[in-house]
Structure 1
C-alpha cells in the first residue's frame, strides 16, 4: 500500500527544473536570491547534504590517517636517535594520546564522560551542523511566491538525511569506520548516539517552520488533511522521538534486552515513514540506499563469518566457575584439541539464562553459535619494551588471554618486549580461582625477571606470597602508582586495562598525566600506549 503515497511515476531523482514560482510578484532581488547557492531549493541537496557528507568523510579520513601513523610508529622506532628524552614525534604523539586518555567524572551523578577526544569530536560535529544550518539568512522567505518550503526547513532536512548513513555506520558491530580508524565498535557508540540526537534536532528544525508558516497563513488544518507530507513527517517524527528519549542510559541500562528489541522495531517504522516522506525529492533517496548498503554489508559479513567459523552450532559445555562467573567451553568439530573459552559475569539476559541452565549441575551440554569476536587490540604489544596488563574483576577475561599469548611470544624470543606485569583486582580467592590455572601457566613460561603477577583481594583478609612467585595483596591496587611506575620503567611502554568505570577512570587519568610529561619533553618514556576495554557501556 505504500506506493499510493508516492508520486507517480516513481523515479530515482526528481527534476531540477524550477517550477511553481510566481515571478510576477517577486522583486528582481528576490528572483536572484532563489537561484543563488545556499538559497536555491533545487540545489539544496548539493549545498547542504553533500557538504555534510564531505564533513563526515573528512573527519573519518583524518582519524584514519592518525591511526595509520600510530600503527607505523608501533612497528618502527622514529624517535630521535641518541636523545635520552622525547623528541618532536614523541611529543606530538603524546599530546594526541592525551585527548584519548583524559576522562572526566561528575561525582554528584556518578557519570563518567567519554574520553576528551570523543568530546572534541562530538563538539566539532555539533558546531559544524549548527553553523551550516543557521549561518545563512533568511530563515523564512520574505515573499510567499518564493516557495512554500522555508529555507531553514529545507536545509535542515537535507542535513538530517546526510547524517543518517553515518549514524547507522557508527552503530554496527562489524564497523567499517572502526576498521579504518582502529576504534572498536563500542567506543563508536558515543558518536552513534550523539549523531542520532543531532539528526533529531535538525528534524525538529525541519518540521516546525512548516507548521508556523501554515498557522500564519491559516492553512494548517487543510494542509494536514490533504497533504501526505504532513502526516508522513509526523509518522517519522514519533518513532524518532521514542528512539531518542528512551536511548538514554537511565532507561536503556535497566531493561537492555527489551530496549534492544524495541529499538530495532521503532527504527524500522522510522525509516519506512521517512522513506515515504522524502519521496524521491532530488537525491534524497540516495542517502537511504547508502544507509541500506552500509547496514546490509555489516549484517551479512556477521552472518557469513559466523557460519564459516561455527556452522549452525558446535558442541559446548557450560559450567559455573565461581561466585558469579560462568564459563562456556567450545570445541571445533575438526580439531578436537582446540577449544575456546568464554568467561562471563552473570547479570541479565543471555548470561542469566545460561546461569539458570547450569544451576544445580556440574556442567550443561549444548550447541552454540558464536558471533564475534569484535574490537580488541589493534597494535602488537610485543613491540613494546614493557607491557602492563591491568584488570578489575571480570575485566580479567580480556587480559588473561593476552597475558598467555604475550608470554608465549616472549618465550619464543626475537621480540623487543622485556617485561610483562599482570595486575588483577578481585573480591576474593573464589573469584580468582577460575583464572588461576591460566595465569600460573602463562607466568611459568618466563623467569621472574621477565614476568610479574600481582593479585589484589579487595574484600578478603588473605595476604601472602606463595612459592610460585604469586604476590597476593589485600586491598585495591593504587592504579596511579602503577601507571607512574610503568611510565618510568622504559622508553616504550604499553598499558592494557579492562574493568569497571571507576577502575578505568583511575588508569586513564594517570596515563593522561604521563602523556603530558612526555609532551613537555621530560622523562625516560617516549612512547606510552593505552588500550582500554569496558563491560558497561
Structure 2
C-alpha cells in the first residue's frame, strides 16, 4: 500500500498513472474466442500497433537512407577497375538520369523535383496508403466493445509518430543523414517538407475517426471535458497545421521572414503537446527520445562549430554599381567552391535572431602561401528583408563593418569531382554569377590535376555561360571574369594541360539589333568588335588579357543550354576517339528555376551518351536560388 501511494505521489498532472518509459502490454480479452481472434490479429491488435506500424515506418526510412549511404561509399571508395565496368556505368547513368530529369507544368509555373525524388515520394505515398487503408476494418464492429480507438486512427497515429525523428533530423543543416549519404542538406529539404506533409495528413486521419466515433456514441462533450488526450491533441494539431500551411512554397516565399521568425516557436509548441498527447502509451516516448538525441546532437555540433571553432567575424559591406552588395569576411574557415554559409549579423537592425544563407563566391587559399587569411566573399542581390537592409547600409555608409557569426559551410562541389573533369561547363543566371566565379577560380587553381595528382592527357576545356536581364550586372560580370582569367597563374604557366576557356555573357532584356554578338578573342592577342552599337551600350572599350580564352557578349539572346550540352558531349565523343580514352564532363549550374530545369534535363539526356561509351561520365551539380 505504501509503495502504491508513493508511486501516485510522483505522478504529474497530465498523466493518469505513474511515469514510466513505456506503458504495459498486459491484455486479457473478455470477448468470445472468435471476437478475441478478430481483435488480436496482427493488423488490428492495439497492444502491438507500435511494432506493426511505427517500426515498419522506421524500417522504410532507414532502408532508403542505407541505399544512398552505400551508394555514397561506393562512389568514393570503389576501385577504378570496378568503376570502369559496364554494370557500374549503367547503374551510374540510370541513377543520374533519375536524379536530373525534371518536368514543368507551365500553367502553374511549376518545376517539379527530379524524377528520382518524385519516385521516392511515390514510394512513400504507396506505403502510407497501403498501411492506412489496406487493413480492415477502419472502425470496430458494433457487436461488442473492442476498444475506444478506431483501428484506422491507431495505425495512422503510430506512423505519424514514427516520422517525427526523420522530420526533425532533415530540418537541420548539420544532420547525420547528410553525413551518411553525402547529399547536401539543402537538397534534403524537399524530403523534410514531404515527410512533414505526410505526418500532417496522417495526423488528420488519426484525429477525425475519434471525432466521428464519439459523436456516434454521444459522448463527445464528455470526452472533451474529461480526457486530457483531447485537449493536448488540439494544440498539437493546430500548431502542426500552421507549420504545414506556412511552409507551402507560395506562402513561405511571400512571408519568408515572418515564417522564419515564428516557425521554431510553432515547432516547439507542436512537439511539447504531441509529447503530452502520447502519454507514454506503449513505446511512444522512445520516438521522442530518438528525436531529441538526433536533433540536439546535430544542433550542438553546428553551434560548437559556429561559436567556438569559427568565432566572431567582421564583414565589410560595399555597394557595387551593378546593384549587388559585396560582403567580404577575412577568415581562417576552410571551404570548397560552391558551398554556402548561414550568416547571423550581430546587430539589431539586421535580424539578430535569424541566420541567412549566402553562397560563397571566392576560393579558399592557403594562408601560409598567401601571407594573409582567405576572404569569404558574397555577392548579394538585394530583395526584401535583410538583403534590402544590407544594401541600404552599404549605400549610406560605404565600407561599413558588421560583426557576424558564420555557420557552415554546407554543400558545394568537392575537389575530388573537379579534378576529374576534362571539360567543365559553368552555367549561371542573375545573382548566381557569384557561384560561377568561385567555380572558375577553383577550376583554374586545379588545372592539370586529377584525383591522383597527375596531369590529364591533353588540354582541358572550360566553358562559362552567364545570363542576366540587367545590363549593369553583365558589365560587372565581364569585369570580374576577365580579371580572373587574365591573372590566373595556372593559365599562364601550364600551356600543355591548361584550359581552353570560352565565356558567353547573355543579356536577355535588350532589344534585338542587326548584329547580336560582341567577341573578344585574347588568345591571339587581338580584339575585334563585330557589333556596331550605340556608344552607351558598349562593354568596356579595352580588355587586357593573357593566355587563351574568348569572351562573347550576346544581346537579346537566351543561352541554348540543351544545344550547348549536346554539342559539348558530341565533341567530347570525337575527341575520345583521337585521344584513346573517354572524357569526363562536369556541369555546374546556379540560377533561376527555368535555367536549372533546362540544364538538369539536358544532363539527364546526356546520360545515354555516357551509357553508350561516348564519354566516361556527365556529372551535374545544381544550386537553386532558394530552398
Q: TM-score, normalised on structure 1? A: 0.91
Counterpart of 1:486 in structure 2 is: 568
* Cα shift readout 1:72-99 (whole Å, capped 9, x = no counterpart): 46x7354658xxxxx3322232111111
1:357 Cα deviation from its structure 2 partner: 0.9
Tell me what 1:84 maps to: none
Q: 2:318–2:326: 8 Å Cα contact kept in structure 1? A: yes
Does the 8 Å contact 1:384/1:416 carry over to 2?
no
Residues 327-348 of structure 1: CA deviation (Å, up to 9, x unaligned): 1111238974432212222222
1:175-230 Cα shifts (integer Å, max 9, x gaps): 22122222111211111111111111111111111111111111111111111111
- Give the CA deviation at 1:144: 4.4
Corresponding position: 1:46 with 2:51? yes
Matches of 1:65 and 1:337, distance apart in 2: 37
Structure 1 residue 414 and structure 2 residue 458: aligned?
Answer: no
Which residue, out of 402, 405, 414, partners 2:442?
A: 405
State the partner residue of 1:338. 374
TM-fit CA distance, 1:439: 4.5
Q: For residues 213 and 102 of structure 1, do their structure 2 counterparts lie closer, same or farther at Cα, with a shift above 3 Å needed? A: same
Q: Distance in 1 between matches of 2:84 and 2:195?
A: 41
Report the Cα offset of residue 275 of structure 1.
Answer: 0.7
Aligned pairs for 1:307-318 (under 5 A) are 307-311=307-311, 313-318=312-317
| 2:64 matched residue in structure 1 | 59
Structure 2 residue 252 is matched with structure 1 residue 274: no
- Measured after TM superposition, the shift of residue 369 of structure 1 is 1.6
* Counterpart Cα distance in 2 of 1:440 and 1:40: 73
Deviation of the 1:117 alpha carbon: 0.7
Q: Residues 165-180 of structure 1 correspond to what in structure 2 (within 5 A)? A: 165-180=165-180
In the alignment, the residues of structure 2 paired with residue 261 and residue 470 of structure 1 have an alpha-carbon distance, to the nearest angstrom, of 47
- Cα distance change of structure 1 residues 115 and 38 upon mapping to structure 2, 3 Å threshold: same
1:348 aligned residue (380, 384, 391): 384
CA contact (8 A) 1:422 1:453 kept: yes
Summarize the alignment of residues 252-401 of structure 1 with structure 2, pairs less than 5 Å apart. 252-311=252-311, 313-332=312-331, 336-378=372-414, 379-401=416-438
Compared CA separation, residues 79 and 270, structure 1 to 2 (3 A):
closer
Q: Is the contact made by 1:504 and 1:532 (CA closer than 8 Å) also made in structure 2?
A: yes
In the alignment of these two chains, the number of paired residues is 523
Shift of 1:160: 0.5
Give the gaps of 5 or more residues in structure 1.
Answer: 82-86
Using the alignment, how far apart are the partners of 1:298 and 1:453 within structure 2? 43
**Residues 113-163 of structure 1: CA distance to partner in whole angstroms, max 9, x if unpaired?**
111111001111111111112211122222442211111111111101001
1:28 aligns with 2:33: yes
Taking the aligned partners of 1:363 and 1:16, their CA distance within structure 2 comes to: 67
- Give the 3-state SS of the residue equivalent to 2:419 in structure 1: helix
The 2-side partners of 1:271 and 1:80 are apart by: 49
How far 1:401 moved relative to its partner? 1.7
In structure 2, relative to structure 1, the CA distance for the partners of 1:419 and 1:308 (3 Å cut) is farther
CA distance in 2, matches of 1:509, 1:240: 35
User: Is it true that 1:536 corresponds to 2:541 in the alignment?
Assistant: no
The whole-number CA distance in structure 1 between the counterparts of 2:315 and 2:82 is: 47
Runs of at least 5 residues in structure 2 that lack an aligned partner in the other structure: 1-10, 333-366, 511-515, 523-544, 574-581
Could you state the TM-score of these two structures normalised by the residue count of structure 2?
A: 0.79
Match of 2:343 in 1: none
Partner Cα distance (1:158, 1:144) in 2: 24
Q: 1:34 touches 1:146 (CA, 8 Å); kept in 2?
A: yes
Match of 1:471 among 551, 570, 591: 551
Instruction: After superposing the two structures, state which structure 1 stretch, 115-124 or 471-480, moved more.
Output: 471-480
* Change beyond 3 A, Cα 1:63–1:80: closer
After TM superposition, give the deviation of residue 247 of structure 1 in Å: 1.4
Asked whether the equivalents of residues 388 and 486 of structure 1 are also in contact (C-alpha less than 8 Å), the reply is: no
More deviation, 524-533/342-351: 342-351
What is the aligned-residue RMSD (CA, Å)? 2.3
Instruction: Map residues 189-268 of structure 1 onto 2, 5 A cutoff.
Output: 189-268=189-268
* 1:493 counterpart SS class: strand
For 2:41 and 2:186, how far apart are their aligned partners in 1? 43
Specify whether residues 293 and 436 from structure 1 end up closer, same or farther in structure 2 by C-alpha distance, changes over 3 A only.
Answer: farther
CA contact (8 A) 2:448 2:456 kept: no
Give the counterpart of 1:515 among 602, 607, 618.
607
What is the aligned partner in structure 1 of residue 339 from structure 2?
none
Aligned equivalents of 1:403 and 1:309: distance in 2?
29
- Partner of 1:301: helix, strand, or coil? helix
Cα distance in 1 for residues equivalent to 2:481 and 2:309? 26
Contact 2:444 2:499 in 1 (8 A): no
SS at match of 1:183: coil
Cα pair distance change 1:366/1:80, threshold 3 Å:
closer
Worse-matched range after superposition: 146-155 or 314-323? 314-323
Contact 1:456 1:476 in 2 (8 A): no
Q: Are 2:14 and 1:5 aligned?
A: yes
Contact 2:491-2:499 within 8 A present in 1 as well: no
Alpha-carbon shift at residue 415 of structure 1 (Å): 4.0
CA contact (8 A) 1:79 1:526 kept: no
Q: Secondary structure at the match of 2:411?
A: coil
1:497 match: secondary structure: strand
Question: Distance in 2 between the 1:275 and 1:79 partners?
Answer: 48
Contact 1:382 1:416 in 2 (8 A): no
Bigger relative CO (Cα 8 Å, ≥ 6 apart): 1
Paired residues of 1:306 and 1:369 also in contact (CA < 8 A)? yes
